[in-house]
Amino acid sequence: MSELQQTTVDAFRGLFGGSVLEPADSGYDDARQIWNAMIDRKPALIARCKSAEDVVAAVNFGREQRMLVSVKGGGHNIAGNAVCDDGLMIDLSQMKDVEIDADNRRALVGPGCTLADFDAAAQSHGLATPLGINSTTGVAGLTLGGGFGWLSRKFGMTIDNLISADVVTADGRMILASDSENPDLFWGLRGGGGNFGIVTSFEFKLHPVGPDLLSGLMVFPFGQAKSVLTQFARFTETMPDELNVWMVMRHAPPLPFLPESVHGERIVALAICYAGDPAVGQKLIEPLRSFGDAHGEHVGVQPFADWQQAFDPLLTEGARNYWKSHNFVKLTDEVLEVLIDYGSKLPSPHCEIFIGSLGGATGRVAADAMAYSSRDANYVMNVHGRWEKPEEDDRCRGWARAFFEAAKPYASSGAYINFLSQDETDRVEFAYGAAYERLVEVKNKYDPENLFRVNQNIRPH
């Protein structure tokens, strides 16, 4: 960095309420690390914000210095969009305030919060909003890409529960986006990713949930996959909105309720959550037990916040991850054959295939109501490649890509942008479908120079 540049950086540091890290500074390497270990980028500067005013200062600095800008919330995005090479990384991870208004069932959530932060605060009042399934995921990235989880069939997508957002735009303004203020921006934020600005506060609608819910796992031998998947596909077409059942194929982790002989073997697991009276839920899930001869199950009433963290041990930081994803309206016999075929070829003990059930409330919102338009998606498939060593890269990515291509003929329109890997920029327009041109118009208005482009980018005209 030249003397002039260093002087500029020092001046910025003097105006900044948080900390500004350069590559030689203590804490720099920790700050640039993100969840996906395949991403190893080195920003020229990391601006660790403590307030919305810090975010304004960082945005203005990045724009004025013509720097590449990335934005980190939870740092969990599979494509690694939180961090850039040789640019300015705006780090929001210290902005973790959560304010719960229990009387009005509202939450104000900072952009650095994880699902665990939000759940802990809301569940202390017996309230929740639909989020994801891994508690270390950042609320900001999850929300801006759409967001779905165990409660979505009952209460909709995460974005369906977003009331407003405070946003710092590319020109350094702080504005509110809601149905009544800057509604075009609010429309774009709900599914448009980080393309239009940096959200410094999210306001969510909350719902009475738990704090104890019926949830858990049923684990079947992989040899019974055809029976289990066929019945899963039909059962999930008619289950009530309060019930959610997801399917996972993987090698069995050392779960205490499974016989030791099953550990490491291929399995089919059904993950269950019922957002209602547990006694009613027990009756509803009884048919699942007849889908096969289970290795074991662990289903019961437990705190919802605990269930939200149940899969964290399988999704820790430090592994190499590569995802491919499709939406489906229906799980046809052809889709199930592809799933079983590639489930039999898992290239690493950590790789898995999951089918998340949507439908219910998620499908009752008009496709053009917000940027996320895949309201016909009753299922989302994530081919989750996960492994430990670089020498496994080609084998594991090759498996995921081949699986993706084999399933493509049976997939529906659109894609979930939070599942797009860094090499899938060509799928962005497809992901948004009919909403894409309107998103370009919003981009033209709020970020015409494409300052916010380290994302699943919507390019301005």
H, E, C per residue of 312-358: HHHCCCCCEEEEEEEEECCCCHHHHHHHHHHHCCCCCCCCEEEEEEC
CA distance 150 to 156: 10
Cis omega before residue 287 (within 30°)? Answer: no
Q: What is the pLDDT of residue 98?
A: 97
How close are the terminal C-alpha atoms of the chain, in Å?
Answer: 33
CA distance 133 to 51: 28
Q: What is the pLDDT of residue 3?
A: 54
pTM of the model: 0.95
CA distance 376 to 360: 10
Q: Which fold has domain 98-209+434-446?
A: 3.30.465
Strand-pairing partners, residue 371, are none
What's the CA angle centered on 105, arms 191 and 245, to 5 degrees? 55
Matching fold, domains 3-91 and 213-425: no
Domain 213-425: give its CATH architecture.
Answer: 3-Layer(aba) Sandwich (3.40)
- Quick one: CA dihedral 330, 271, 417, 109, positive or negative? positive
Q: Which fold has domain 3-91?
A: 3.30.43
pLDDT at 4 over 80: no
Tokens of 422: 């860094």
Q: What is the pLDDT of residue 454?
A: 96
pLDDT by residue (tens digit) across 122-171? 999 999 999 999 999 999 999 999 999 999 999 999 999 999 999 999 99
Q: Percentage of residues in the chain with pLDDT exceeding 90?
A: 95
Q: What is the pLDDT of residue 15?
A: 86
pLDDT by residue (tens digit) across 52-102? 999 999 999 999 999 999 999 999 999 999 999 999 999 999 999 999 999
Mean pLDDT on 409-423: 93
Whether 51 contacts 42, CB under 8 Å: no
Give the residue extent of every domain in the chain: 3-91, 98-209+434-446, 213-425
